[in-house]
A and B are shown apart, each in its own frame.
Chain A
Amino acid sequence: MSERIEYDVSLIGASPSNLALAHRLVELASRPVRIAIFEKAKQIGGHLLSGAVSNPRVIKKLFPDWDKGGFPLQGICSDSYLSMVGIRRWENIPRLLTPSYFKKEGYAILCISDMASYMAEELQKRAAEKNGVIVDMFPGFAAQSIVFEGDRVIGVKVDNSDNGVRDICHAKVTVFGDKGFISRDLVSKYNLRKNPQVYSVGVKEVWSTEKSFEGKVWHILGYPLAPGHLGGGFIYGCKNNQLVIGMVMACDSANPNMRPPQVLQDLKKHPYVQEMIRGGKLLKYGASILPEGGYYSLPDKFAVDGAMLVGDALGTLDVKRFSGVDKAMESGYVAASSVWEAIEKDDFTQGTLNSFQPRLMCGWVGEELRDARYFKRVFDDYPEILGKMIPDMVKSIDSGKGPVWAGAQFGLSDPLGSLRLLGARKMVESPSDKGPAIYRPDRTHINPNYSETSAMPEGFDQSVIYSTADVVFYAHTHYEEDNNHIEEFDANVCVDCIEKFDAAGKDTPCVGDCTAEVHQTLEIDGKRRHAMALENCVQCTTCEIVCPFENLRVKAALHGYGPDFSGM
């Protein structure tokens, strides 16, 4: 018997994108097809984390009864607010003045970890109803490397036994829906991305609260982010008296020490949030990155011979609309048509597979990504939005002004500048062509001498505030002694980096931006050196993104090691 293991379709990552792809493919399959799904977490969904308030447009297609029980909803948004927040006060912007893309009423509040595990179960049931359609899931098996034959992808290596052929899953087409752990190898081999991907890091806590906030959604501008830092907070009210509190902050910050988990603690120090979580209990903590380059960070091609990119591997997140989950799922849904076409034609070359690209870009995903293409660039072209406008308005709000008055006051204080900002508004709302947005990698924005500080609220309840070491406990990470998933290429590079940031009185970015207190500097043999407490790692990959010397690489951990984000 041949030991070669072969499937028609191999999906890397049980992500919303790949699970949507599998669902659609099972639906389309009018003859036998074999699908394998690899997931680095111990359980499907175990490493998935998102906000998430999502337009249910793809969920509706896959699960028409999505709001009638069964499908794991945390709630449906009934009231959404865009809030301007200072250190003392909290003002919701009047609905009339709230941009439409901040209005989330009717959207699904999701825990994508639970959603993925539900989608996986349903997938098995639906596949079982179709003759010859096989879906095999392999949680705990991460794709470790891509296997090429010439320029064609023929599979992935998923194990390290002493029998090489047994370690490879061959497939006619391998679809990457991961957060870059492995798809970056494909992108770099074929040089698919001319403009780099840029990221935000998101941190999130789930609380059990005394009061229910089910259906309420807040998106937060201002406090606790320092002036100039793109990002914001979010609070989502879920069923069963659960409350999601999170912060998203762009990695292209000059600040080498963003301390994401502590910024989240700062949000919780605000009197408004304090009131919400009084008497509550922290249930879960987690962190993840968001690929935010959008339209201009999309690869030149979405497929190569034998492989495709979907979801976060492709970069379909739309930061203007906070629309990640639905676009990722749609990318998988649309990709399924091209995969099925390839199966029918028995042709898995780029020519056939890449019909996916025009299919996706001519639909609403492409349309909305194009519409949002300058959202990130606006903040580069108009640094005064984050540097002055929002900080000034927040100050007015703290001094007791309403949001409308705060805006008017800003307008009056600098009429010319405000006029100029109308251009920014146009760039966001209905952009005319200004040529591509060119990004620099996030790490190049870091400035060791960054000195911005922000004021803090006073008199908060310390018992709901956690140190980073303590909060990581709630990510429920599990690793064993053979784990070694973050590679440090050259220890001396780290020594030099530490010296450089020490001189400026800062931690290195890997230490200062870590979401789980993994990175540390320790004095060993008379030198300050980089060390890692890998057992804490929630696998967000921020350290790799911000390492000024590209000296770190976060690989997919083996054997299902990592956090447990179920219920996140």
Chain B
Amino acid sequence: MSDGLKIVVLIKQVPDTSSAAGVNPDGTVDRVRARKMMNPFDQFALQKAIETRNAHGGEIIVVSMGPPPALAILHEACEYGADKGYLLSDRRLAASDTLATAFALFKTIEFIGNVDIVFTGLQTTDGDTAQVGPQIAERLDFPQVTYCEKMSIEGRTIRASRIIDGGIQRLEVDIPALITIANSASRLEHKRFYNVYRTRELLRDKQTLAKTVMTITLDNIGADPARVGLMGSPTVVGKTWKLGEKGGSCKMFQGDSAKHGVETLIESLSEDERGIEEYVL
């Protein structure tokens, strides 16, 4: 493989987990008002892609589906070191469930062509289903490794360890493959000055930009509009409701040493009417 690997990373723009997003009367998240960020789970996938490319060569293509402002996370991914990006943006995609989304992204990956590895995050912070990655793998007929924490590549074989209940499962799959990265894998490293600089230059160079970060529609990827959006989504959301306000309280125990702090804590818990036994494992 002289050209290295063709790596796709699926990323999504989600409401910033630290912003007070607010909820619409119908119980859905107010996506217009909320500040946006790259789905935190996807950051682990991007990091694994960067490590893989740096070790084996090739290129990283970030792919997202969303409204035009989602271009921002593709640019951000470039600042982290991604090489190219595609934003699948089409009004007909609105209200897609996981089945429809997976179909649209599957068609996008097919459109890109000759992809060796698809990395995805475990799940998104707004949907929380963890279904899209596996569904795409099925449609692509790629082997999949979910909850992957560590991996290495030798020739066309990926050796991966994935997290399972009570331990680690090691397995081997052949490239092409789809891998969803656990959030216990290595964290996304800080942006490098050079990559940020390069992205600033890229955003000014409209000709190169048009070949580097592209917005595509259902027509480009040849996806049947009937299989995406509300039409293509069999999921029915019955009802959503707010579980209640965040609560709780916190008390800081101070002391001139850790020992003193712990003593004060024990003292305070002993005075609790439930008794200190309540707090001892």
What residues of chain A have their CB less than 8 Å away from a CB belonging to chain B? 3, 5, 134, 136, 138, 140-141, 158-159, 161, 163, 166-167, 169, 467, 469-470, 520-523, 558-559
Contact = CB atoms under 8 A, between A and B. Distances in A.
A470 B256 CA distance: 15
B196 interface: yes
Contacts of B197: 5, 136, 138, 169
B119 to A, nearest CB: 23
A467 B192 contact: no
Contact of B252 (A136, A470, A559): A470
A159 B192 contact: yes
Interface in B187-212: 190-194, 196-197, 200, 204
Given A136-B197, A167-B193, A520-B256, 16 more contacts: A5-B194, A5-B197, A134-B204, A136-B200, A138-B196, A138-B197, A140-B191, A159-B192, A159-B193, A166-B194, A167-B194, A467-B252, A469-B252, A522-B257, A523-B257, A558-B190
Given A134-B204, A469-B252, A470-B252, A163 B190 contact: no
B254 interface: yes
B196 A141 contact: yes
Interface in B213-263: 252, 254, 256-257
Nearest to B252: A469
A163 B194 contact: yes
B22 to A, nearest CB: 19
Contact of B193 (A141, A469, A470): A141
10 contacts: A3-B194, A136-B200, A138-B196, A140-B191, A159-B192, A159-B193, A161-B192, A167-B193, A469-B254, A522-B257
A157 to B, nearest CB: 9
Contacts of A140: 190-191
Contacts of B257: 522-523
Nearest to A137: B200
B193 A467 contact: no
Interface string B103-145: 0000000000000000000000000000000000000000000
Contacts of B256: 520-521
A558 B254 CA distance: 29
Contacts of B193: 5, 138, 141, 158-159, 161, 166-167, 169
A484 B190 CA distance: 16
Contacts of A159: 192-194
Contacts, number: 40
A46 to B, nearest CB: 14
A381 B200 CA distance: 55
Contacts of B190: 140, 558-559
B191 A166 contact: no
A562 to B, nearest CB: 14
B148 to A, nearest CB: 24
B41 to A, nearest CB: 18
B200 A166 contact: no
Contacts of A167: 193-194
Contacts of A138: 193, 196-197
Interface string B171-199: 00000000000000000001111101100
A9 B31 CA distance: 39
Contacts of A3: 194
A304 to B, nearest CB: 24
B44 to A, nearest CB: 16
A158 B194 CA distance: 10
Nearest to B196: A138
Nearest to A521: B256
Nearest to A138: B196
Nearest to A169: B193
Contacts of B191: 140
B97 to A, nearest CB: 35
Nearest to A560: B190
Nearest to A141: B193
Contacts of B204: 134
A136 B196 CA distance: 10
Nearest to A473: B252
Nearest to B250: A473
A166 B192 contact: yes
A105 to B, nearest CB: 37
Contacts of A169: 193, 197
Nearest to B200: A136
A501 to B, nearest CB: 14
Nearest to B193: A159
A469 B192 CA distance: 34
A467 B194 contact: no
A536 B254 CA distance: 15
Contacts of A520: 256
Nearest to A36: B197
Contacts of A136: 197, 200
A467 B200 contact: no
Contacts of B196: 138, 141
Nearest to A136: B200
Nearest to B192: A161
Contacts of A559: 190
A134 to B, nearest CB: 7
Contacts of A163: 194
Nearest to A158: B193
For B197, B254, B256, B257, which residue has the most chain A Cβ atoms within 10 angstroms? B197
B277 to A, nearest CB: 29
A5 B192 CA distance: 13
Nearest to B201: A136
B201 to A, nearest CB: 9
A559 B192 CA distance: 10
Closest 4 CB pairs of A and B: A166-B194, A159-B193, A559-B190, A136-B200
Nearest to A165: B194
A316 to B, nearest CB: 30
Contacts of B254: 467, 469
A521 B196 CA distance: 41
A4 to B, nearest CB: 11
Nearest to A517: B254
Nearest to A561: B190
Contacts of A467: 252, 254
A169 B204 CA distance: 19
Nearest to B203: A136
Nearest to A140: B191
A184 B88 CA distance: 50
A469 B252 CA distance: 8
Contacts of B194: 3, 5, 159, 161, 163, 166-167
A3 B190 CA distance: 20
B7 to A, nearest CB: 21
A141 B196 CA distance: 10
Nearest to A135: B200
B254 to A, nearest CB: 6
Nearest to B194: A166
A140 B197 CA distance: 13
Nearest to A7: B197
B196 to A, nearest CB: 6
A356 B156 CA distance: 63
A76 to B, nearest CB: 30
B83 to A, nearest CB: 15
